[in-house]
Amino acid sequence: MLDIQKIRADFPILTQKVNGKPLVYFDNGATSQKPQIVIDAEVRYYQEINANIHRGVHTLSQLATDAYEASRGKVKEHINAKFAHEVLFTSGTTHGINLVTNGFASILKPGDEIIVSSLEHHSNIVPWQMLCEKTGATLKVIPMNEDGELILEAFDALLSENTKVVTVNHISNALGIINPIKYIIEKAHAVGAAVLIDGAQAVPHLKPNVQDLDCDFYAFSGHKMCGPTGTGILYGKEAWLNKLPPYQGGGEMIKEVTFEKTTYADLPHKFEAGTPNIAGGIVLGTAIDYLNNIGFENIQQYENELLEYATKQLLEIEGLKIYGTGKNKASVVSFNIDGIHPYDVGSIIDKLGIAVRTGHHCAQPIMNFFCIPGTIRASFSFYNTKEEIDSMVEAVKKAKTMLS
């Protein structure tokens, strides 16, 4: 059992008032809040060891380098990667995906096929479309059903020897559906395709085990898991990272530079050109420790309770429809009220201190599928409470009355 009040005390922002009302923060899918320990670690880095990494013999540079590499090691353990050099620091999921699509530009050719799912965030659609434009490869889409679940028979039918890459999110940001990625990875590998999993929405809720999943790439953002913005990780299997060309050229990613020829550094540095977000990378490790101390099993169990409670309370509102009714879900509720624009509900409940996201959630194809302009999305974290859900439900009822 989690002591939620004790956990909430770790998050200074949660005591804020917004528009004169206690903040109810249900926009965790967009970014999570940060515990004091993470904020302190960021300050401490600049107060005590700020220096550039991997380049100085001086003590501070060594301390900063050690802390940065220790954090890489922590991430390696956390996701159960085989080697620390399979863990690349990025600025976030978007960066990680673009690093991979850029690499595949030199591998794919016309006639090759890339399979994405209909549940993707734009950042796992657009880079693949750009890659298709560059290479002449074709994009195929796994369809979904009315519950927001991927249709696996249709996925099976899309697979062929032309399939070179399959990419899906672990958890859908717009609907909260947890995808059967193990099945997808196995099937994709059977035709020799590489698999990238977009784990942006998964890592706040669960601990991915990349070796057990056997995915080729797993991308996520630090800011959605209590870490700083501008941090992220791309896990890639060693063989793939060796095969892909570098993403950006610059300092730190080279072995030797002459005007005739440059040779590239070994992993992971080959993909880490320039001065990275050093503080962020270090503090991401602090955030991971924080979450592991709470325990992902505890987090999941509690968030499931919140999900069930919110779903039940919201469905008591007449005319309210939830999108993403599949069985396997994370703590996200996406909904609309009959005849009312989601933006109007979002604006009114914001005045009551309640932060939800409204709109297409960077997943326009999902909205097109349901023929809606967007949804109201409440995404819960382990620091949220049932009382906060009650406040949201009351606020939504008020908004409904005002707008009907």
Q: Looking at the annotation, which residues are catalytic?
A: 362
Q: CA of 290: how far to CAs of 34, 39, 394, in Å?
A: 10, 12, 32
The DSSP result for 257-294, as a single string, is E-SS-EEEPPTTGGG--S---HHHHHHHHHHHHHHHHH
Residue number, 73 or 230, with CB nearest to ligand 7TS: 230
Q: How far is the CB of 173 from ligand 7TS (least distance, A)?
A: 3
Residue number, 98 or 135, with CB nearest to ligand 7TS: 98
What sign results for the dihedral spanned by CA atoms 114, 115, 121, 122? positive
Q: How far is the CB of 37 from ligand 7TS (least distance, A)?
A: 21
Beta bridge partners of 178: 171
> What spatial distance separates the first Cα and last Cα of the chain, rounded to whole Å?
41
Q: How far is the CB of 282 from ligand 7TS (least distance, A)?
A: 18
CA distance 169 to 158: 18
Q: How many CA atoms lie within 13 A of 345 on its CB side?
A: 29
What sign results for the dihedral spanned by CA atoms 17, 354, 293, 90? negative
Q: How far is the CB of 304 from ligand 7TS (least distance, A)?
A: 20
CA distance 324 to 268: 38
Q: How far is the CB of 81 from ligand 7TS (least distance, A)?
A: 20
The DSSP result for 7-61, as a single string, is HHTT-GGGG-EETTEE-EE-BTTT-----HHHHHHHHHIIIII---SSS--SHHH
Crossing angle, helix 36-44 and helix 278-294, to 10 degrees? 150
CA distance 74 to 22: 36
Q: How far is the CB of 242 from ligand 7TS (least distance, A)?
A: 25
Cα 364–Cα 370–Cα 373 angle in degrees, nearest 5: 50
Pull the structure tokens for residue 392.
């949201």
Residue number, 95 or 400, with CB nearest to ligand 7TS: 95
Dihedral over alpha carbons 154, 159, 162, 164 (to 10 degrees): 110
Beta bridge partners of 359: 375
Q: How far is the CB of 221 from ligand 7TS (least distance, A)?
A: 3
Residue number, 94 or 101, with CB nearest to ligand 7TS: 94
Q: How far is the CB of 374 from ligand 7TS (least distance, A)?
A: 12
Q: Taking CB positions, which residue lies at the least distance from ligand 7TS?
A: 173
Residue number, 49 or 356, with CB nearest to ligand 7TS: 356
Helices then strands, counting H and E runs in the chain, come out as 14, 17
Residue number, 94 or 135, with CB nearest to ligand 7TS: 94
Residues 6+ apart with CB under 8 A from 391: 22, 24, 352, 353, 354
CA distance 165 to 208: 20
User: Interface with ligand 7TS by CB under 6 A: which residues?
Assistant: 29-30, 92-94, 121, 123-124, 169, 173, 198, 200-201, 221, 357, 361-362
Residue number, 28 or 65, with CB nearest to ligand 7TS: 28
CA distance 38 to 293: 13
Residue number, 71 or 201, with CB nearest to ligand 7TS: 201
Pull the structure tokens for residue 197.
């999993």
